[in-house]
Amino acid sequence: MAVQSAQSLSQRVGWPGQGVHRVPYRVYTDPEIYAAEQHRLFRGPVWNFLGMASEVPAAGDYVTRHIGDTPVVMVRDQDGGINVLVNRCGHRGNLVCTRTSGRAEHLTCVYHNWLYDLKGNLTSVAFRRGVAGKGGMPDDFDMAGHGMPRLRTATFHDLVFATFSDEVAPLSDYLGAEMRANIERVVGRRMCLLGTHAQYMPNNWKLYMENVRDSYHASLLHMFQAAFRINRLTMDGGVRLSDGGWHHISYSKEATDRQGDETYGGKKLRAMDQGFELADPSLIARWQEYPCGTTLAIQSIFPNFIVQQIYNSIALRLCVPKGPENCELMWWVLGCEDDTEAQRQIRIVQSNMIGPAGLISMEDGVVGGWVQRATRNDGDETTVLEMGGRDVAPSEGSRATEVSIRGFWNGWRSLMAV
């Protein structure tokens, strides 16, 4: 689909005036807006999360991923560097790596046996000189101009990012000091993979990114937490934002919980009425892992990457768009190399809280689909994002705010030029 001019895309989106406290429902369904996102956003001046460097430990190890809809390969070369290449042969456009992971000396397109080195350079073309002096490529065919496109790549604490943009600031500046500090706190150690999830959801990818930035819903939609007082808005906490609100951290510290049943609209929450107790409390066993006392921190890096700490449950998530009305949430569930056996077991059991069957997180898989269904035919209507005001400014001491969702739309509007 052709990339629209800024003006016609603006008209298409129909953003209602200035600000980011109203979002037209059309952005969740429209194929042209979706197509524009692929170019302006995912191929625009952002750093896209790919995976962990430790997923490709040795030369030739690769995994296939997506940046937006674009298939890419993350591969380690013989020099120890990590390259992110568009997974497409320079000849006829075939997928080069057709397995989701593997190890290879070269990347080979099976269609006509064109070979690439691990940096994406085209090194060999089958029958380049023809057969018995006949056929073959023209003498002036330039091998150098037909490699697999190699993206700008950067890593931070084993996390690999890549960008199509020459203009975007270095990764370190893109993240900023505060965002870097939280990533460092949560995964800046020798981490190990405990498991993965892939959750396919029937909603636009932005509905999930709004959900993950929505600190207001956590104790209202997710009753499991509320019932066991795992997360309460009355706990000390707040929302940190990067400049412009593109990235966010929502955090809380449970030890300072103040009783606040009255703040929930004067009545007890659904699950509290039940007053149930766990038959096996080891489900929520935990230890104080961080000196700062943070018990929960959800961080999003624009556009679609998430770093999660829920007690001792550590995970990375990437929300990959799959057309206007679907997305796939990839999870990396992590532990530390230095964990004791008891700590490792606690992390494994706590993982029941997260993922597609997560006692806390499962509702996030369904609520986006409900919004999708309810808004599909009303593209001109808008969402309301006024909790905590209409601006984009950090919110200390309160998570009863939608400020980080507004921050997301600030970034989205800026890149989409609408």
Binding positions for other proteins, rule: CB under 8 A: 193-202, 221, 223-224, 227, 270-271, 274, 276, 278-280, 282-283, 328, 333, 344, 347-349, 351-352, 355-357, 359, 362-363, 365-367, 369-370
Minimum Å gap between C-beta 55 and other proteins is 11
Closer by beta carbon to other proteins, 279 or else 342? 279
Minimum Å gap between C-beta 195 and other proteins is 3
Q: In this structure, which amino acid lies at residue 147?
A: G
Q: Which two tokens stand for residue 393?
A: 């400014």
Nearer to other proteins, 113 or 282 (CB): 282
* Packing angle, helices 364-375 and 205-213, rounded to 10: 120
Residue type, 332: W
Nearer to other proteins, 33 or 359 (CB): 359
Pairing mode of beta strands 48-52, 114-116: unpaired
The Cα 203–Cα 322 span in angstroms is 9
Nearer to other proteins, 68 or 355 (CB): 355
Please state whether 113 falls in left (phi above 0), alpha (psi between -120 and 50) or beta: left
| 228: alpha, beta or left? (left if phi > 0; alpha if psi -120 to 50) | alpha
Quote the CA–CA distance of 247 and 364 in Å, as a whole number.
20
In contact, 252 and 236? CB cutoff 8 Å? yes
* Least distance between other proteins and beta carbon 50 (Å): 17
Work out the angle at residue 61's Cα, subtended by the Cα atoms of residues 60 and 67, and round it to the nearest 5 degrees.
115
Q: Minimal distance in Å, beta carbon 203 to other proteins? A: 9
- To other proteins, the closest distance from the beta carbon of 201 in angstroms equals 6
Q: Indicate the residue among 115 and 348 with the shorter CB distance to other proteins.
A: 348
Of 278 and 374, the one with the shorter C-beta distance to other proteins is 278
CA distances from 405 to 96, 232, 383 (A): 38, 19, 11
CA 85 to chain centre: 19
Question: Rounded CA gap, 392 and 80, in Å?
Answer: 41
CB of 211 to other proteins, least distance (A): 13
DSSP 8-state symbol, 312? T
Select 79 or 277, whichever has its Cβ closest to other proteins: 277
Determine if the peptide bond prior to 149 is cis (ω within 30°). no
**Closest CB to other proteins among residues 122, 187:** 187
Residue 375 Cβ, how far from other proteins at the closest point, in Å?
Answer: 17
Could you tell me the smallest distance in angstroms from the CB atom of residue 358 to other proteins?
Answer: 8
